[in-house]
Amino acid sequence: MSRPQDEMAEEGEEVFRNLTEVKKSQIVMPCHANHRQELSVGQLLKWMDSTACLSAERHAGCPCVTASVDDIHFEHTIGVGQVVNIKAKVNRAFNTSMEVGIVVNCEDLFSDSHWRVCQAFATFVTQRTTGGKVQLRPLVPRTQEEQVEHSLAAERRRMRLVHADIMKDLLTNRAFQQVEVQEAEKAVPAERTQVESVELVLPPHANHQVNTFGGQIMAWMENVATIAASRLCNAHPTLRSIDMFHFRGPSQVGDRLVLKAIVNNAFKNSMEVGVCAEAYQGEEPLRHINSAFMIFEVCDRDGKPCTLPKIQPEPLEGRRRYQEAIARKKIRLDRKYIISCKQTEVPLSVPWDLSNQVYLSYNNVSALKMLAARNNWVLNSEKNKVSLYTLEQKQVLSFKIEFEADVPAERAFMVLSDLSKRVEWDPNYERCELIHRVDDDDFLYRVVTPSICQGGVSSSPSVNQGGMVQDFILLASRRPPCDSGDPYVIALRSVTLPTHPPTEGYNRGEVLCAGFSIMEVSNTVSKISYFNQASPEVLPYISTDIAGLSSSFYGTFCTCSTFLQDNRDNPTPKDQPPSSTLNSTLL
């Protein structure tokens, strides 16, 4: 392990030393590789876990253990002779747990090329030898990147806490309960893929706390899962991803660790393998240590996924696992395409439902926080302390409007988060109806905006007067600060609803990323920033301001400031949007 190196921050920022950062560089030897001369994923998981643990302990100042690991997607394999570079650092410390971000890159020493292998987020908890929990000190982010990760860590924690409930709710959905097992002539009986293996936990398998090393348990689990996957396809499979998993309890030296794996379901080009790890000593009953779900593919010589044989599940429990695998596949796709991919790769209007609500909400808030964290905004114009900034990046134009209001930040947050009241101060909001109140922090709205003609905003919905009236289906996600210094956030993005398809006479518009960031300046003053990543449907409303031909933004946000001051003393109950009007078939 290498000590943290001084790291250059973003241009214009001072050099600093990140005390929680730990780096590990390891050349892949034949003893680390599988039959294809590629690094075993089990070995990689051990290296990742040990690096992350050392990072967590640097911040905590005491022993730490792995509590959970979020989804891991392996983008590339690593060959013998190549170098694995692992970097781990604490993103955020909560009361007794902390999130550690892990980035794995590969380096080819001969071509001097580098590429990303995977990224992971692990949660660690402190463990005292005398028992009891350790109250962790807060982590202060220093760079722009760290500030974003620090903020998003709270959103990821929010998702972890509701992950089990999402799966439970999805499995109670009739659509998944009524899934029929597809009969096939050459279907492979699931029991043929079953694997059971017992490992004796010896001192080399333990960490410095004499507990079984979490990375070692993951490596053993990957081993039996690979065997189960091989039995289905009679080939050598490649592990592509591991779903979020939690360690249920500790294991110690002297334990017998029973590892069981079976193929739960086989899709066209991938299969899900369920793995369970249980421990016992002597005559004691089995203790559940961990369960995980791993996704495998089989690739041909060109690296393309092969078609897999069907699986014939066992009765009762086997059919339950078969149906649950289908539900997990949906959640996996939601998490991958809404959360894991780059912001520019996220589909515009993702279909909304309760099973993917938490992921859409995360994407909504994280996109706005990342946009707000950009430090290369350019001042376009300013009038009486209302400023218009622009940012052009990868052929996408974003704008920011910033001003101060004589209203407490919390009060401004409560007023602005009720989108239905925006029609009272924003002329670009003709109508706004609440479709569904998802929970206390997330709402679905339909917004109608006036048409744009050459002379500006048209007062008539007629297509002949310059353009069709537009409507938007928006998910609004609001978040209060987690710590002092954090902003209040109100994030907006487009979604689609089957109950609200595009209608005749309206052009259905898209909002990529928009919303408010509200910072407390003093007890009575707040700084309000409005952001919008301009889509083709949004740009016409601000283009004349950006070009310097108009200053309508000034009038709009002066009206907003006046509206906030007029409502600064209203009682809180009026700030809560009314109950849902969404058709119950969506629920």
If asked whether residues 330 and 402 sit together in one domain, one would say no
How far is it, in rounded angstroms, from Cα 399 to Cα 534?
Answer: 7
- Say which residue, 453 or 241, is predicted with more confidence: 241
pLDDT of residue 438: 92
Please check whether residue 496 is in contact with residue 477, taking contact to mean a CB–CB distance below 8 angstroms.
no
Token pair listed for 5: 């190196």
- CB-based contacts of 71: which residues, under 8 Å, 6+ apart? 241, 242, 243, 244, 332, 335, 336, 340
> Which CATH number does the domain housing residue 498 bear?
3.30.530.20
Residue 343 — very low, low, confident or very high, per pLDDT cuts 50/70/90?
Answer: very low
Secondary structure (DSSP) of 463-531? GGGTS-EEEEEEEEEEE--SSTTPPEEEEEEEEE-TTS---TTEEE----EEEEEEEESSSS-EEEEEE
Average the pLDDT over each of 69-73, 74-78, 329-333, 440-444 and give the range with the smallest value: 329-333
* pLDDT above 90: percentage of residues in the chain: 53
471 within some domain: yes
Residue 28's CB: how many other CB atoms inside 10 A?
21
What's the one-letter identity of residue 71? D
Question: Which of 212, 215, 270 is closest to 241 using CA atoms?
Answer: 270
Residues 389 and 300 in one domain: no
| Same domain? 464 vs 559 | yes
> 564 lies in a domain?
yes
Q: Are 453 and 560 contained in the same domain?
A: yes
Distance (Å, whole) CA 286 – CA 403: 61
The conformation of residue 572, written as its DSSP 8-state character, comes to: G
Task: Say yes or no: 380 and 310 in one domain.
Answer: no
Give residue 96's region: left, alpha or beta (phi > 0; psi -120 to 50): alpha
* Residue 34, amino acid: N
pLDDT per residue as tens digits for the range 545-558: 666 656 788 889 99
* Terminal-residue alpha carbon distance, the chain: 50
pLDDT in tens, 330-341: 888 777 766 655
- Do 127 and 187 belong to one domain? no
Asked whether residue 435 falls in the same domain as residue 319, the answer is: no
pLDDT band of 509, cuts 50, 70, 90: confident
Residue position matching structure tokens 């350790």? 134
Q: Which of 287, 319, 341 is the last residue in one of the domains?
A: 341
Residue keyed to tokens 């005390």: 19
The predicted structure's pLDDT at residue 196: 97
pLDDT at 359: 86
Indicate whether 361 and 481 sit together in one domain.
yes
Which pLDDT score is estimated for 46?
Answer: 95
pLDDT-derived band at 574 (thresholds 50, 70, 90) equals very low
Per-residue confidence band for 104, with pLDDT thresholds at 50, 70 and 90: very high
Mean local confidence (pLDDT), 283-301: 93
Ramachandran region, residue 456 (left: φ > 0; alpha: ψ -120 to 50; beta: rest)? left
- Distance in angstroms (rounded) separating the CA atoms of residues 113 and 105: 10
pLDDT of residue 4 exceeding 50, the answer is no
| DSSP-based three-state secondary structure for 156 | helix
Expressed as residue numbers, the domain containing 318 is 173-341
For residues 447 and 474, the answer to whether their CB atoms sit within 8 Å is yes
Q: Is residue 84 very low, low, confident or very high in pLDDT (cuts 50, 70, 90)?
A: very high
Question: Do 398 and 380 form a contact (C-beta atoms < 8 A)?
Answer: no
Beta-sheet strands, E only, within 165-221: 188-189, 195-200
Interior angle at CA 224, CA 221 and CA 225, nearest 5:
80
Among 203, 515, 545, 560, residue whose Cα is nearest residue 404: 560
Q: Which residue has the higher pLDDT, 109 or 184?
A: 109
Residue 33 lies in a domain: yes
- Residue 482's pLDDT band, with cuts at 50, 70 and 90, is confident
Q: Which of 341, 361, 391 is the last residue of a domain?
A: 341
> Per the structure, how many domains does the chain have?
3
Q: Is residue 403 located within the same domain as residue 332? A: no
Does residue 223 sit within a domain? yes
Q: Considering Cα of 279, then 285, then 288, then 289, what sign does the dihedral take?
A: negative
Q: Do both 309 and 199 map to the same domain?
A: yes
Task: Check: CB of residue 363 under 8 Å from CB of residue 477.
Answer: no
Average pLDDT over residues 389-409: 90
Q: In the predicted model, is pLDDT for residue 1 greater than 70?
A: no
Instruction: Answer yes or no: is pLDDT of 416 > 90.
Output: yes
Q: Is residue 131 very low, low, confident or very high in pLDDT (cuts 50, 70, 90)?
A: low
Q: Is residue 313 part of a domain?
A: yes
Distance (Å, whole) CA 581 – CA 87? 48
Query: Does residue 161 fall inside a structural domain?
Result: no
SS3 for 310-329, per residue? CEECCCCHHHHHHHHHHHHH
The pTM assigned to this predicted structure is 0.80
Of the listed ranges 90-99, 330-339, 417-426, the one predicted with least confidence: 330-339
Residue 517's Cβ-side half-sphere holds a number of Cα atoms within 13 Å equal to: 22
Question: Which string of DSSP letters, residue by residue, matches 425-451?
Answer: T-TT-SEEEEEEE-SSSEEEEEEEE--
429 and 514 fall within a common domain: yes
CB atoms inside a 10 Å sphere around CB 142: 16
Q: Find out whether 533 and 542 touch, Cβ atoms under 8 Å.
A: no
Together in a domain, 231 and 379: no
Neighbour tally for 391: CB within 10 Å? 18
At 173-231, the pLDDT tens digits run 666 555 566 566 678 999 999 999 999 999 999 988 788 999 999 999 999 999 999 99
% of the chain surpassing 70 pLDDT: 83
pLDDT at 290 exceeding the cut of 70: yes
Which residue do the tokens 């993702």 mark?
350
End residue of a domain, out of 320, 341, 362: 341
Quote the distance between the C-alpha of residue 281 and its chain's center.
39
Q: How far apart are CA 12 and CA 585, in angstroms?
A: 53
State the average pLDDT for the chain. 84
CATH number for the domain that contains residue 281: 3.10.129.10
